Amino acid sequence: MELITATLTKNGLLFAFLLVGLVMWASYFLSHHLTRGRLHGSAVAIMVGLLLAYLGGLFSGGTKGLADIPLFAGLGIMGGAMLRDFAIVSTAYGVDLAEIRKSGLVGVLSLAFGIVLSFLVGAIVALAFGYGDAVSMTTIGAGAATYIVGPVTGTALGASSEVVALSVAAGLVKSVIVMIGTPFIAPLIGLNNPKSAMAYGGLMGTTSGVAGGLAATDKRLVPYGAMTATFYTGLGCLMGPSLMYLMIRAIFGA
């Protein structure tokens, strides 16, 4: 037993391939037999993944879900930023450049709207819960943009560590909701063509959320959504401590 565990730990990435293969098989099986294909197999698989991350986090007390348990550390390589970005870029193969150019304006506008609206919502929620100073409001607003923009903005503005932690949690909530919710909301908001996917990526911004949500909806939309989402975090980090801070301070006068 110990020998087997040692081998699996040493060859973590291979074990991750095996595990994810099993999760995919079980998820597609459940999708076909329990929901008659109404809930897509990939959507089920992502939910199973998130559930495993929750259980792993409870068990280990770490921050990387199931990957904090040494036996499953290979999942951290397989699902880490390097291979994720590699796979995202590969989905662009065969995409028509004209399609992207046609929707370029929508993509740019969606980025602006997505960032400003997220900051405002986060700031208003912060105010409602008694975090009334502009620094805390901006930081929690930044977290409502993405869980990277939150701490970057908070650090730049000198927010308290409690507020920074809240902003990270807000970003994580968003990312999880986008991953799970996209296939359900897609038919209601017309998310079924490249142009709406470009708007979606810019409005949501969370790379992991958009990557997972569009995978669960229709894989053909992934390159368009990812294309705009990839600019979001960088722009958010740029606008957060500057423009958004000044705007929130001007509006709420704190």
Residues 11-70 that bind another protein (CB under 8 A): 16-17, 20-21, 23-24, 37, 42, 45-54, 56-58, 63-67
Restricted to residues 223-242, the positions that interact with another protein (CB under 8 A) are: 223, 226-228, 230-231, 233-235, 237-238
Query: How far is the C-alpha of 200 from the C-alpha of 210, rounded, in Å?
Result: 8
Restricted to residues 155-174, the positions that interact with another protein (CB under 8 A) are: 166-174
Q: In the set 26, 71, 121, 254, which binds another protein (CB under 8 A)? A: 121
Binding range to another protein, per CB under 8 A, among 4-12, 217-225, 245-253 = 217-225
Q: Which is nearer to another protein, 99 or 249 (CB)?
A: 99
Binding range to another protein, per CB under 8 A, among 4-12, 114-122, 243-251 = 114-122
Contacts of 190 by beta carbon, 8 Å cutoff, 6+ apart = 196
Q: In the set 76, 160, 249, 252, which binds another protein (CB under 8 A)? A: 76
Secondary structure in 3-state letters for the chain:
CHHHHHHHHHCHHHHHHHHHHHHHHHHHHHHHHHCCCCCCHHHHHHHHHHHHHHHHHHHHCCCCHHHHCHHHCHHHHHCCHHHHHHHHHHCCCCCCHHHHHHCHHHHHHHHHHHHHHHHHHHHHHHHHCCCCCHHHHHHHHHHHHCCCHHHHHHHHHCCCHHHHHHHHHHHHHHHHHHHHHHHHHHHHCCCCCHHHHHHHHHHHCCHHHHHHHHHHHCHHHHHHHHHHHHHHHHHHHHHHHHHHHHHHHHHHCC
Tell me how far, at minimum, the Cβ of 3 lies from another protein, in Å: 25
Task: Give yes or no for residue 134 binding another protein (CB under 8 A).
Answer: no
Q: In the set 148, 159, 247, 248, which binds another protein (CB under 8 A)? A: 148
Task: Give yes or no for residue 113 binding another protein (CB under 8 A).
Answer: yes
Number of Cβ within a 10 Å radius of residue 136? 25
Query: How far is the C-alpha of 154 from the C-alpha of 113, rounded, in Å?
Result: 21
Tell me how far, at minimum, the Cβ of 167 lies from another protein, in Å: 8
Q: In the set 26, 30, 39, 177, which binds another protein (CB under 8 A)? A: 177
Restricted to residues 83-102, the positions that interact with another protein (CB under 8 A) are: 83-95, 97, 100, 102
Restricted to residues 184-213, the positions that interact with another protein (CB under 8 A) are: 185, 189-196, 198-200, 202-204, 207-208, 211-212
Q: Which is nearer to another protein, 134 or 167 (CB)?
A: 167
Total of chain residues touching another protein, rule CB under 8 A = 123
Tell me how far, at minimum, the Cβ of 223 lies from another protein, in Å: 6
Binding range to another protein, per CB under 8 A, among 3-11, 141-149, 245-253 = 141-149
Query: How far is the C-alpha of 251 from the C-alpha of 217, rounded, in Å?
Result: 38
